[in-house]
């Protein structure tokens, strides 16, 4: 059976999927059409069920969980790896102002969700490509920005200061690691296909851990603007034991975030799958 699968160009995803894509592990008779997109594009395409298997932000998955099942393997979930809320360097009074303009990496990203949970009513969120947020805040187009991926490692060099480590805020208020994103499969494919792909992806991640050099060129080909050092930091931060298997602790973290999503996000004036206009604009 051929599956349409999609994941992001970020080093953690290309590292995990390298062996699967290149036929280095047993695929149990499955074959794949591969697409690579920004994670927010994947979140949006999941609304239309474009792919059989897709990387999704956990926030994005919450909006399609009736149609997609999250796999045990492939998650970016852990401690001290969450999104960062940043401002221009020296703007120490930013949170005292009203009507703040906030750049986020997408309405359906976990970063946007955490920003809303931590700072309800802070300002209007505008989605944009994650890699453009640092520059948009540094040049004054936005007062605040939510950084994901490699932004954790580069924001100070871009003239930005940390306002809040949203991952640390989540850990302190929930006692759980932060669920960022995972790999989901269409429920209509049935449990046997889902279980088979989960095993294949688990093997691919095991291979990546056992042969870390094998995927280096593949990872670099999709992360051209990142140094090899940043690529490795990215992998080390976001690929861990939870990537191999969510386990009980990981599932409890996901359930806790979903409960907060329902209680404070949906019941706070949003409809499932539809960003609230006061919080998330039409993009920039």
CATH number for position 215: 3.40.190.10
One domain for residues 168 and 93? yes
Q: Which of 120, 155, 175 is the last residue of a domain?
A: 175
The per-residue pLDDT for 152 is 81
154 and 190 fall within a common domain: no
Q: What is the domain range of residue 260? A: 2-77+179-265
Looking at the fold, whether 210 and 91 belong to one and the same domain comes out as: no
> Rounded to whole angstroms, how far apart are CA atoms 229 and 231?
5
User: DSSP string covering the chain, please?
Assistant: -EEEEEE-SSHHHHHHHHHHHTT-S--TT-EEEEEE--HHHHHHHHTTT--SEEEEEHHHHHTTTTTEEEPSSS-EEESS---EEEEETT-TTGGGSSSEEEEES-TTSHHHHHHHHHSTTSEEEEE--GGGHHHHHHTTS-SEEEE-TTHHHHGGGGTEEEEEEHHHHHHHHHSS-EEEEEEEEEGGG-HHHHHHHHHHHHHHHHHHHH-TTTTHHHHHHH-TTS-HHHHHHHHHHH-SHHHH--HHHHHHHHHHHHHHIIIIIITTT-BTTB--TTTB-S--
Same domain as 151, residue 109? yes
How far is residue 246's CA from residue 28's CA, in Å, rounded to a whole number?
Answer: 22
Residue 124 to residues 36, 100, 113, 162, 265, Cα–Cα distance (Å): 29, 6, 13, 19, 15
- Residues 72 and 188 both lie in one domain: yes
193 token code pair? 């296909």
270 belongs to a structural domain: no
Q: What is the structure's pLDDT at 226?
A: 79
Name the token pair of 64.
Answer: 């399609």
Residue 202: what pLDDT?
Answer: 98
47 contact partners, CB below 8 Å, separation of at least 6: 63, 64, 273
Cα–Cα distance for residue pair 115/56, rounded to 1 Å: 18
What is the pLDDT, as a whole number, of residue 166? Answer: 96
Range with lowest mean pLDDT among 156-170, 199-213, 268-282: 268-282
| Other Cβ atoms closer than 10 A to 194 | 21
Residue 116 in any domain: the answer is yes
Known catalytic residue at 149: yes
In a domain, 189, yes or no: yes
Domain identity same for 184 and 213: yes
How much of the chain, in percent, has pLDDT values that exceed 70?
Answer: 94
Residue 28 maps to a domain = yes
Are 59 and 190 part of one and the same domain? Answer: yes
With CA atoms as reference, report the closest residue to 129 among 231, 8, 228. Answer: 8
The answer to whether the beta carbons of residues 60 and 46 sit under 8 Å apart is: yes
Are 26 and 96 contained in the same domain? no
The answer to the question of residue 272 being in a domain is no
Last residue of a domain, one of 175, 200, 230: 175
Q: Pick the range with the lowest mean pLDDT from 55-59, 207-211, 241-245, 274-278.
A: 274-278
Same domain, 73 and 92: no
My answer on whether 69 and 189 are in the same domain is: yes
- Asked whether residue 282 is assigned to any structural domain, the reply reads no
Q: Is the pTM of this model over 0.85?
A: yes
In a domain, 61, yes or no: yes
Which of these three, 121, 141, 175, is where a domain ends?
175
Q: Please count the structural domains in the chain.
A: 2
Based on the fold, state whether residues 171 and 88 are members of the same structural domain.
yes
Of residues 18, 149, 202, 234, which has the active-site annotation? Answer: 149
Same domain, 185 and 258: yes
Q: What is the pLDDT of residue 118?
A: 96
* 283 within a domain of the structure (yes/no): no
Residue 17 has pLDDT above 80, yes or no: yes
């Amino acid at each position: 059976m051929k599956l349409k699968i999609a994941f992001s160009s970020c080093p953690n995803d290309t590292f995990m999927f390298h062996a699967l894509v290149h036929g280095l592990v047993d695929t149990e008779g499955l074959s794949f059409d591969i697409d690579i997109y920004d994670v927010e594009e994947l979140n949006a395409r999941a609304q239309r069920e474009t792919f059989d298997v897709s990387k999704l932000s956990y926030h994005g998955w919450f909006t399609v969980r009736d149609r997609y099942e999250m796999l045990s393997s492939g998650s970016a979930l852990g401690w001290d790896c969450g999104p960062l809320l940043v401002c221009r360097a020296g703007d120490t009074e930013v949170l005292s102002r009203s009507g703040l303009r906030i750049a986020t990496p997408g309405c359906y990203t976990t970063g946007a969700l955490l920003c809303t949970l931590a700072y309800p009513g802070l300002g209007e969120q505008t989605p944009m490509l994650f890699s453009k947020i640092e520059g948009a805040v540094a040049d004054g187009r936005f007062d605040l920005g939510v950084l994901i991926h490699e932004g954790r490692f580069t924001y100070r060099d871009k003239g930005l200061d940390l306002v809040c480590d949203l991952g640390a805020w989540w850990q302190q208020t929930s006692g759980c690691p932060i669920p960022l994103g995972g790999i989901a499969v269409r429920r209509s494919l049935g449990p046997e296909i889902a279980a088979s792909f989960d095993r294949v992806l688990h093997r691919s991640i095991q291979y990546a851990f056992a042969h870390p050099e094998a995927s280096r060129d593949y990872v670099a080909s999709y992360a051209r603007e990142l140094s090899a050092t940043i690529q490795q930091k990215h992998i080390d931060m976001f690929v861990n034991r939870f990537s191999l298997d969510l386990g009980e602790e990981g599932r409890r973290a996901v359930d806790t975030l979903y409960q907060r999503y329902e209680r404070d996000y949906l019941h706070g004036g949003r409809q499932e799958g539809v960003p609230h206009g006061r919080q998330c604009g039409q993009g920039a």
